[in-house]
Amino acid sequence: MSIVAIVGRPNVGKSTFFNRLIQRREAIVDSVSGVTRDRHYGKTDWNGKEFSVIDTGGYVRGSDDIFEEQIDRQVELAIDEADAIIFMVDVEAGVTGMDEDVATLLRRQSKPVFLAVNKVDNAMRADDAVEFYSLGLGEYYTIASISGSGTGELLDALVEVLSEKVEEEESILPRFAVVGRPNAGKSSFINALIGEDRYIVTDIAGTTRDAIDTKYNRFGFEFNLVDTAGIRRKSKVKEDLEFYSVMRSVRAIEHCDVCLLVVDATRGFDGQVQNIFWLAERNRKGIVILINKWDLVEKENKTMREFEKYIRTQIEPFTDVPIVFISALTKQRVYKAIETAVKVYESRSKRIKTSELNDYMLPLIEATPPPATKGKYIKIKYCMQLPTPHPQFAFFCNLPQYVKDPYKRFIENKLREAFDFEGVPIAVYFRKK
């Protein structure tokens, strides 16, 4: 899937445009804010073509922000990761020095750049937009993020240049992505597996740009291990490690089957890690949480139990996730981590016979029916698993609109108890009989 980055200086309306873009169609999968300050990422589609969108936020040169090394660091990262770039400027402010700095960076590379002149909500401002030709980026698109004026023309042009992501033959193998914050030990985990085991066949270029797939065979199970760590030297990333990590994680997560989320035990399960976790959950990927560097933590009798309990409170209501405490340095439990990932993959691929599903669920539903709403009783007659890559279930009833979220969670929990979906997000739908 293609990635589109929205870049520009602060206060030009990038976030407004981003919010309008991901809400324009109902194919929204994810929208998470606050990864690092005001950055956002999500998924949408236009004219039937899906793509991920990154709102890169904006920097002010010379501010006392901890990321003050100039705006060009973030723009360079966006250029590095994205397949196309929307460069947004403000017609009210005209061409500024920071606009010129960003334009200079964008002119040096070959990726498609779309210059979007925002806040053009009348004919007079449309005339004012002519000065942006001076940025040397060719044609521009006049838009108004608040009203949506002009965004259709911009998106039409955008999707025309987004190439279809063609899956390579190797992609039929299951894909396990190792994701997490920088310095959490992702590279060490990969190296521990590769250095100890000699079942590796070959290194291939992955179907997602710049991710590296290692074909791996262990436990009689062959899969692609997707390494999102060590692809760039950290000296090149400098201050913007958080944004860099998210860009990598977005691409890797969208193209994998199971996410191995590596957490630095000395830093804890912080907001950055949680955002990556929820991105995987919203994309319906299998998840295994690996607590790395466990050998560095001072431990008492209940340390592991308390740490695990804390993590599960942070990921509620999706608490049915395996947590493995490892040390990539000493290779403690690294193979158990892979065994667990294989089990999660098999659970995610599980197909339950319709007769078996109904034999279990219908008596349970009859004993614990949905609460009546407005004096109307909900009767569930039939259920089935939908033919999708990840577990989704449809329950057919007379009044699906009255089934509330607490009852959906009750049904989900019963499905987990009976059919073992540990580490696998599942979706439950109620439909009209």
CATH number at residue 27: 3.40.50.300
**Domain stops at, among 285, 317, 349:** 349
Mean pLDDT along residues 1-21: 79
Q: Are 185 and 276 in contact (CB under 8 A)?
A: no
Q: Which residue has the higher pLDDT, 166 or 110?
A: 110
Describe the strand order of the beta sheet including 203-205 as a list of residue ranges. Answer: 203-205, 212-218, 221-227, 175-180, 258-264, 286-292, 323-325
Q: Is residue 225 part of a domain?
A: yes
What are the binding residues for GTP?
8-15, 55-59, 118-121, 180-187, 227-231, 292-295
Per-residue b or e along 383-399, where b marks 16 or more CB atoms closer than 10 Å to that residue's CB: bbbeeeebbbbebbbeb
Provide the pLDDT for residue 248.
61
Domain shared by 317 and 384, yes or no? no
Provide the pLDDT for residue 177.
87
Helix (H) or strand (E) holding 43: strand 40-46
pLDDT in tens, 89-141: 999 888 888 888 888 888 887 889 999 999 988 888 888 888 899 888 888 99
Domain shared by 334 and 206, yes or no? yes
Q: Is residue 404 part of a domain?
A: yes
Per-residue b or e along 261-280, where b marks 16 or more CB atoms closer than 10 Å to that residue's CB: bbbbbeeebeebbbbbbebb
Q: Sorting pLDDT into bands at 50, 70 and 90, what band is 319?
A: confident
Mean pLDDT along residues 193-212: 40
Domain shared by 205 and 78, yes or no? no
Q: Which of 185-199, 207-221, 227-241, 311-325 has the lowest mean pLDDT?
A: 227-241
Task: Tell me if residue 218 falls in helix, strand or coil.
Answer: strand
Describe the strand order of the beta sheet including 427-432 as a list of residue ranges. Answer: 380-385, 392-397, 427-432
Most confident option among 224-228, 332-336, 407-411? 407-411
Range of the structural domain that residue 363 is part of: 354-432
What are the binding residues?
8-15, 55-59, 118-121, 180-187, 227-231, 292-295
Domain shared by 131 and 207, yes or no? no
Q: Distance (Å, rounded) from C-alpha 250 to C-alpha 345?
A: 19
Q: Is residue 227 part of a domain?
A: yes
Domain shared by 278 and 195, yes or no? yes
Q: Sorting pLDDT into bands at 50, 70 and 90, what band is 47?
A: confident
Provide the pLDDT for residue 245.
52
Q: Distance (Å, rounded) from C-alpha 5 to C-alpha 86?
A: 6
**Domain stops at, among 135, 161, 187:** 161
Provide the pLDDT for residue 323.
94
> One-letter amino acid identity for 3?
I
Mean pLDDT along residues 75-80: 69
Query: What does residue 315 show for φ and ψ, rounded to 5 degrees?
Result: -110, 15
Domain shared by 207 and 300, yes or no? yes
Put simply, whether the predicted model's pTM sits higher than 0.75 gets the answer no
> Token pair for residue 384?
């089935």
Q: Sorting pLDDT into bands at 50, 70 and 90, what band is 362?
A: very high
Q: Distance (Å, rounded) from C-alpha 30 to C-alpha 41?
A: 8
What mean pLDDT value characterizes the chain?
A: 77
Exposed/middle/buried for residue 310 (C-beta within 10 Å: 0-12, 13-18, 19+): exposed
> One-letter amino acid identity for 244?
Y
Q: Are 88 and 99 in contact (CB under 8 A)?
A: no
Has residue 30 got a pLDDT over 80? no
Q: Is residue 166 part of a domain?
A: no
Mean pLDDT along residues 319-338: 89
pLDDT in tens, 181-197: 777 888 788 778 776 43
What is the β-pairing status of strands 392-397 and 380-385? antiparallel
Q: Is residue 57 part of a domain?
A: yes
Domain shared by 256 and 116, yes or no? no
* Beta-bridge mates of residue 5: 54, 85
Q: Is residue 262 part of a domain?
A: yes
Crossing angle of helices 354-367 and 405-419, in 10° steps, is 130
> Token pair for residue 207?
């179907």
Domain shared by 344 and 366, yes or no? no
Q: What is the DSSP string of 211-263?
A: -EEEEEEETTEEEEEEE-SSSS-HHHHTT-HHHHHHHHHHHHHHT-SEEEEEE
